Amino acid sequence: MHCHHRPKRTSFLPYGKQSIDEDDIQAVVNVLRSDFITQGPSIERFERKIAEHVGAKYVVAFCNGTAALHGACFAAGIAPGDEVITTPITFVASSNCVLYSGGTPIFADIRPDTYNIDPDEVARKITPKTKAIIAVDFSGQPAETDRLSMLAHDHGLVLIQDAAHSIGASFGGRKVGSLADMTMFSFHPVKHITTGEGGVIATNSEEYRNRLLMFRSHGVTKEPEQMERNDGPWYYEMQTLGYNYRMTDIQAALGVSQMDKLDRFVARRREIAAQYNQAFSENEGITIPYQHPAAESSWHLYVIRWNQGTDRAKAFEELRSRNIGVHVHYIPVYNQPYYRDLGYEQKQCLHAEAYYEEAMCLPLFPGMTDDDVQDVIYAIKEVLRG
Ligand SMILES: *Cc1c(COP(=O)(O)O)cnc(C)c1O
């Protein structure tokens, strides 16, 4: 059967993009006209809104997700000599936060089907020096937090979930944000909701929350019950070396407004993923994303494997020339020159390497029209036919 011919797209379709509407703009303008553009009431409003949505007791906002991960490593007590196990198929920030803290990232291979960290590989990499696991919910599909929590519990490790891709997702019927000791969400414009730059840690631990609050603001506290002494109403204490990692009220107000649309954004992403699944399930040469039975993804990325001997790099260029903004997420982190120079063995994880040879992300964001989706499907099938 011949497909109806579609003309080439005239505009470039990116792999991800924010959706900002007039309510969002108004929310930001309102804050700009108010008394506080930073350290004001919008921060707590945003934190509470996320906490309620994801089912966590506390949420602490940061200027970006990377700073939030650095905070999580600090709160977990990561220090020189400590090992932290994470996945190589992630953005570099997931392991850089361990280096910031003086710890040593250890890479455990992914499962060949979900592309998430393999709990059996994590178990093999645990040593007496291991302090934490940083699991990444790659593409929006939660990692196996049931098995990872058990490992963490049995070995006295802190489980940190890098959920930059997975706000709105769940595992075993439980929301991401309520599954690990600390969970990071990012609000970079390609993620589900945006604050321009921004991130948070969700946690049920009051102790972690207090450490995170101090860490994001110079290591300083003004809470009387936390201070060693109190000289008067002006008094504050710096008790640890923190940073200025605060989010502004301008960002938080945008975040509050964006949160109202999160469920709708996730629903649209799921719809588009279902359209791709249906279009490509019968195609030889493409593997569609496998879903773990307990995972309900919020679909940050739609990743296909361009396999069976076809040339991924050539297909990538042909799709880009058709204005389809395909992408490759991610280059295994240990292969980055900085990590190589630190002494990391190259190509150390076999499944991660095989994945990297064939992976390709298709455009996926809530603002895509059905027509945009059909453009992608048509272009892929055209390139597959050669
Ligand atoms: C985006 C992202 C981060 C970093 O978040 P920023 O807000 O950009 O600092 C960390 N990990 C993963 C997996 C990400 O996709």
pLDDT value for 57: 98
The 3-state secondary structure of 48-116, one letter per residue = HHHHHHHCCCEEEEECCHHHHHHHHHHHCCCCCCCEEEECCCCCCHHHHHHHHCCCEEEECCECCCCCC
Residue where one domain finishes, among candidates 211, 227, 259: 259
Question: Do 59 and 199 belong together in one domain?
Answer: yes
Closest ligand 1 atom to 65 CA: 7
pLDDT at 310 (0 to 100): 64
Distances (CA, A) of 326 to 109, 193, 293: 25, 21, 27
| Any domain includes 269 | yes
Domain boundary among 234, 259, 284: 259
> Residue 347 catalytic?
no
Tokens found for residue 138:
């790659």
The answer on 219 and 342 residing in a single domain is no
Q: Which of 18, 64, 69, 91 to mutate to test the pocket of ligand 1 (most atoms within 8 A of CB)?
A: 91
**Residue-by-residue DSSP string for 143-177:** P-HHHHHHHHHHHT-EEEEE-TT-TT-EETTEETT
Looking at the domain assignment, is residue 7 inside a domain? no
Q: What is the mean pLDDT of the chain?
A: 96
Q: Which atom of ligand 1 is nearest to the CA of 198?
A: 7
Residues 56, 152, single domain; the answer is yes
- CATH number of the domain within which 223 lies: 3.40.640.10
pLDDT of residue 4: 67
CB of residue 91 inside a 6 A radius of ligand 1:
yes
Check: CB of residue 300 under 8 Å from CB of residue 162.
Answer: no
pLDDT at 385: 87
Percent of the chain with pLDDT over 90: 95
Q: What CA–CA distance (Å, rounded) separates 31 from 249?
A: 7
Q: Is residue 3 part of a domain?
A: no
Total residue length of the chain? 386
Asked whether residue 305 is domain-assigned, the answer is: yes
Task: State mean pLDDT over 50-59.
Answer: 98
pLDDT band at residue 184 using 50, 70 and 90 as cut-offs: very high
Asked whether residue 240 carries a pLDDT value surpassing 80, the answer given is yes
Is the predicted pLDDT of residue 2 greater than 70, yes or no?
no
Distance of CA 90 from the midpoint of ligand 1 (Å): 9
371 pLDDT more than 70: yes
Based on the domain organization, do 74 and 194 belong to the same domain?
Answer: yes
Segment among 261-265, 280-284, 290-294 with least mean pLDDT: 280-284
Which pLDDT does position 180 carry in this prediction?
A: 98
Question: Do 272 and 200 fall within a single domain?
Answer: no
Strand-strand pairing, 130-136 and 158-162: parallel
What element of type H or E holds 284? none
Over 80: is that where the pLDDT of 220 sits? yes
Catalytic hit among 17, 191, 222, 314? 191
Residue 351's domain comprises: 262-385
pLDDT of residue 318: 95
| Predicted confidence (pLDDT) per residue in 303-321, tens digit | 999 986 668 999 999 999 9
Q: Is pLDDT above 90 for 377?
A: yes
CATH code where residue 316 lies: 3.90.1150.10
| Parallel/antiparallel/unpaired status of strands 170-171 and 295-296 | antiparallel
**Mean pLDDT, residues 199-204 taken together:** 98
Q: Is 145 left (phi over 0), alpha (psi -120 to 50) or beta?
A: alpha
* Res 1: pLDDT: 45
Examine the pLDDT at 54 and tell me if it is beyond 90. Answer: yes
Based on the structure, what is the number of domains in the chain?
2
- The domain boundary residue, chosen from 259, 288, 320: 259
Whether residue 139 has its Cβ less than 6 Å from ligand 1: no
